[in-house]
Chain A
């Protein structure tokens, strides 16, 4: 964790790479949320752009398919006036036998400033951050089952917007916690921001091996776990898990762990329903709930742009020489 911290922050303690929530501190997370808040105004402009990263080149380096994350990163970069390259590696150089490091060196030679990395292997973004040239920032857009820190931060942003503060909240994360990088990052962020009661609700087969190590309360019964929660975060059930032995049928899963209006009635009356998407209607969540008044699923997507703008602009300023403090006015 210490090592990650050293890699993520520069010598002045500013964010250089954003790889995982672990090793950061509460103030850094608050700074990200505050900066994101100020970027929400940009969408109200006729010209939805600010010139902050003009002249910077950001590469979306996606080794794994993604629509929502890649497009919101792309939009965020464009709203900051950066130039954006989208590289889908599956269909690209590595298929021709070029190694990952060769690909990196080539992109560096094109004078890129930031890599946004999505990869199926845990630790991939970390590896790239270690090996990239010193002027390059790396943002983790999801690595294996490890972390998805910008998703966690946009969820925190959404929770803060709806609920105001974190301390008194009961937050339940429901579903495939075991394989979910989103859940892992959310749990770290929630506890760093001071949420008192974080619950995970899942069948035994979908729990991480030592759930207590995360400082969460574990429930196997959805009805029991939903009692009095303020926020419920549903996780996508990856259908490929269905083929393994870890799960019964989709139908049975929905009976036990699918979120319906009837089960949601056990939570607080002003409960907020979240989902990182893409949603499987009728598997982990009923359409009536997903499209209902307590769902903020689409707000999460909009907030993703502001949060990613914040993280990208913060990471790009770490390369600046320490505040020269020019004359203002």
Chain B
């Protein structure tokens, strides 16, 4: 197995800068940041600090909204979603670690709308890779990673956060 580690802090800084620029250009004050379990929550914790957000961080576990329950079943270790504030009419920054097929984000949208009607949602991811199966793209991306066939990318954490690509 051949593992390669990517510079996490630089990548996080890059996401934070992009997000700041978007928030400014859209004139959004006090957004609510929501991380998707598990890796997305770790990334969101880092971004929440870097952006010095006032509102508490929310977390979303999309297990009950996945489109492959009929294939893989449920995992008893599902974390309850915690959204400390109403999402109605609020600007949401949804955070995940890796954007790949887009199915997780689709599930997250569905779950989010069961909590209310946000004013807007933007998507921030640490890395994106090829392989989208749905028309979903991120607004803020730490870096784009080109992977060879059979290569995988994984975020490990929470302390320290490491991002490695591995060749199976």
Contacts and interface: CB of A to CB of B under 8 A. Distances in A.
Interface stretch (A46-54, A225-233, A252-260): A46-54
A202 to B, nearest CB: 35
Interface of B: 61, 63-65, 68-74, 76-83, 96, 98-104, 110-111, 113-116, 131, 133
Interface stretch (A31-39, A66-74, A137-145, A158-166): A31-39
A327 interface: yes
Contacts of A42: 64
B71 A38 contact: no
Nearest to B82: A41
A40 to B, nearest CB: 6
Contact of A329 (B82, B83, B100, B113): B100
B121 to A, nearest CB: 16
B99 A329 contact: yes
Contact of B78 (A14, A35, A49, A329): A35
Contacts of A325: 71-72
Closest 7 CB pairs of A and B: A329-B100, A317-B73, A41-B80, A50-B64, A38-B78, A47-B114, A31-B76
Contacts of A31: 76
A293 interface: no
Interface string A41-63: 11011110111100000000000
Interface string A300-322: 00000000000001100100110
B69 A52 contact: yes
A37 B133 CA distance: 32
Interface of A: 14, 30-32, 34-35, 37-42, 44-47, 49-52, 313-314, 317, 320-321, 323-329
Nearest to A314: B74
A50 B110 CA distance: 9
Contact of A317 (B74, B102, B104): B74
Contacts of B73: 14, 317, 320, 323
Given A41-B81, A323-B73, A329 B114 contact: no
B70 A320 contact: yes
